[in-house]
Every structure is written in structure tokens, then in C-alpha cells.
């Protein structure tokens, strides 16, 4: 059995830290150069098309970051047992800009080796962790880190965020979030160099009972804060209330009901950052200050 380095808890679900892993620096302190990758081995479960919701957001409202980048590089951190979702990210971003490069980063060397058959034009796989060791010292304009921090302790999140954002190119963005196994429910935090800026909820609307059902897929920074008195709980409760009030629109379809629900939140003064074109996709993005711990 692999021994854990001091200060790094085993990820939930029985994961182990590989012998080459380093603990995250407390509070986002500077990372000493060189040495082993930062982070812990996580479960690595993945499925094709699982991350379509966040990819659609990256290739939509965030596409301007790729278009304007001097070096159009994206990183997929912690892609798991298969590199298929990394290849999907490359394909989706290349519709925005054909010269995009995507680098998949995994702490497990066996996963890196297993992904190599997928490597090709604009797609590479390397070993590493939160320090984002992109070959040539390149800095990414986008970083997707999904279903990674969910398996860490809550107090490790600020350090991970700080390390990742410190590696960004000017105008870059990190999206850190969680989704279910088939990608029907997802949430993510958008992070710039200065810290978190927004929370996005993205849901498959067909068969949706209550929007707050997504609570079990909140990012690690928020999942334990969904209790009365916390901002994220207040937000999800308001979204549930709006959804319930718009029940008469269910006869017209879940999309119309959701759009009206988010519009009601917007009218009530919630800092909704997107518009109806995104709402119709089952999304809503709010400013981080509205939900922060």
C-alpha cells in the first residue's frame, strides 16, 4: 500500500496518494521549484461526453479568451483513467480556434501512459499536478479541473486555487467543478488570478424535480456550506422557490419554466451574470459574492 506524505489526507472513496505526490502548500504559498507533482491520486472515473456542459460554456461565453490569446493553450487537469474527455475538449475548442493546443495532466504515470494513443495534433498528455507543468513553460489561457478537488479536504481548496491561477496566462481562467457520472448535473467555479468570480449551475431540465437537487454536485468549497445561514443555501432555496412559482409553465416545457425561474431571480436582485440564451441551456451563472462561504 502506498504511504501518504505528511499533511495529505487520503481522498474520499479510498484513493491513495502516489509515492511521487507532494502536499499542497498551505494557503496558496509559493511552490518550491522542481520536485514531485503537487496533489493526490484520485479515483479517476470518467465517461465520454461527461464534461459536455462545462465544455459548452468554455467554447461559448469564454471563447473570447481563446480567440484573443497570444498562445491558445488549454490544460485539462486530472482527466482520470481515460483521456477521452481531454480529446473532446481539444475538439470543441478547435471549433473556436483551429490552432488550440490542449495538454492533459495526470499525477498517475499509468494514466499518462494509457492516454498516449490519443495524443496527436494539438493534444498531449504529461505527468503532473496542480503546478501545471506544461512543456516549454507555456502558460494556459484555460484550465479545466473537474471532479478533482471533490476528493480533497475543504481546507486544501484555497491552496489548489492559488497554485493553478498563478500559472495562468494573462486573461486566463480556471474552471473548477463537479458533475455526476453522466454529466447531467454540473456546477463550477470560475477563477481568475485575483480569485473566484462566479458560480455556474448547469442541469438537464427534463425530469428535474428541484434545482437544489444539484447540491450534491457543488464544488468542494461549497458542498459543506449548503446549510441554513450560508449564502449558497440561500441561493439554492431562492432558485427552488422560483422554480415552484413557475410550475404553471411546465405545460410549455421545462426550458420555458427554467428560463422564467432564472429571470425571476434576476428581477429579485440576484447578481445573475448570463442571459436567456444560456438559461435556455439549463444554466445560470451568479457572482461569487452571492454564494461564497
Shared-domain flag, residues 261 and 214: yes
Do residues 226 and 264 both lie within one domain? yes
- On whether residue 55 sits in a domain, the answer given is yes
Supply the pLDDT for residue 24: 66
Domain presence at residue 280: no
pLDDT for res 26: 59
264 and 146 in a common domain: no
Structural domain tally of the chain? 2
CB neighbour list of residue 69: distance below 8 Å, 6 or more residues apart = 141, 169, 171
Cα separation, 54 vs 125, in Å, equals 20
- For residue 34, give the CATH number of its domain: 3.40.50.150
Q: Are residues 221 and 160 in the same domain?
A: no
pTM: 0.89
pLDDT given for residue 76 in this prediction:
98
Residue 270 and residue 235 in one domain: yes
Pull the grid cell for residue 252.
Answer: 410549455
Residue-level pLDDT at 44: 77
Do 50 and 186 fall into the same domain?
Answer: yes
Pair 131, 220 in one domain: no
What count of other Cβ atoms lies within 10 Å of the Cβ of residue 17?
21
Write down the pLDDT at residue 151.
87
In a domain, 286, yes or no: no
Residues 6+ apart with CB under 8 A from 202: 53, 54, 57, 185, 186, 187, 188, 281, 282, 283
Q: Could you list the residue range(s) of the whole structural domain that residue 270 is in? A: 209-274
The answer to whether residue 235 sits within a structural domain is yes
In the listed set 193, 222, 237, which residue is the last one of a domain according to the structure? 193
Position 10 in a domain: no
| Structure confidence at residue 227 (pLDDT) | 98
Dump pLDDT digits (tens) for 59-111: 999 999 999 999 999 999 999 999 999 999 999 999 999 999 999 999 999 99
Positions of the chain with pLDDT under 50: 1-20, 30
Question: Is the residue at 172 inside a domain?
Answer: yes
SS3 content of the chain, % helix, strand, coil (to 5): 35, 20, 45
Amino acid at each position: 500500500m502506498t504511504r501518504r506524505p505528511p499533511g495529505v489526507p487520503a481522498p474520499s472513496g479510498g484513493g491513495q496518494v502516489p509515492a511521487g505526490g507532494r502536499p499542497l502548500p498551505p494557503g496558496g504559498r509559493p511552490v518550491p521549484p522542481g520536485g514531485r507533482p503537487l496533489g493526490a491520486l484520485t479515483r479517476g472515473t470518467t465517461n465520454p461526453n461527461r464534461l459536455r456542459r462545462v465544455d459548452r460554456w468554455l467554447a461559448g461565453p469564454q471563447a473570447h479568451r481563446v480567440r484573443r490569446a497570444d498562445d491558445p493553450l488549454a490544460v485539462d487537469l486530472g482527466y482520470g483513467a481515460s483521456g477521452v474527455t481531454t480529446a473532446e475538449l481539444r475538439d470543441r475548442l478547435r471549433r473556436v480556434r483551429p490552432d488550440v493546443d490542449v495538454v492533459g495532466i495526470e499525477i498517475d504515470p499509468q494514466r499518462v501512459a494509457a492516454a498516449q494513443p490519443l495524443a496527436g495534433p494539438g493534444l498531449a498528455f504529461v505527468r503532473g499536478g496542480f503546478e501545471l507543468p506544461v512543456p516549454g513553460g507555456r502558460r494556459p489561457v484555460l484550465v479545466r479541473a473537474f471532479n478533482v478537488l471533490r476528493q480533497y479536504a475543504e481546507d486544501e481548496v484555497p491552496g489548489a486555487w492559488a497554485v493553478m491561477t498563478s500559472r495562468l496566462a494573462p486573461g486566463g481562467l480556471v474552471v473548477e467543478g463537479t458533475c455526476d457520472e453522466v454529466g447531467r448535473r454540473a456546477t463550477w467555479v470560475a477563477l481568475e488570478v485575483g480569485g473566484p468570480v462566479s458560480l455556474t449551475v448547469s442541469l438537464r431540465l427534463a425530469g428535474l424535480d428541484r434545482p437544489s437537487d444539484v447540491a450534491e454536485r457543488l464544488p468542494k468549497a461549497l458542498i459543506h456550506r449548503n446549510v441554513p445561514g450560508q449564502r449558497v443555501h440561500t441561493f439554492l432555496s431562492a432558485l427552488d422557490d422560483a422554480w415552484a412559482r413557475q410550475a404553471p409553465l411546465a405545460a410549455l416545457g421545462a426550458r420555458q419554466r427554467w428560463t422564467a425561474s432564472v429571470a425571476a431571480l434576476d428581477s429579485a436582485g440576484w447578481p445573475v451574470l448570463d442571459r436567456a440564451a444560456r438559461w435556455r441551456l439549463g444554466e445560470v451563472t451568479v457572482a461569487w459574492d452571492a454564494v461564497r462561504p
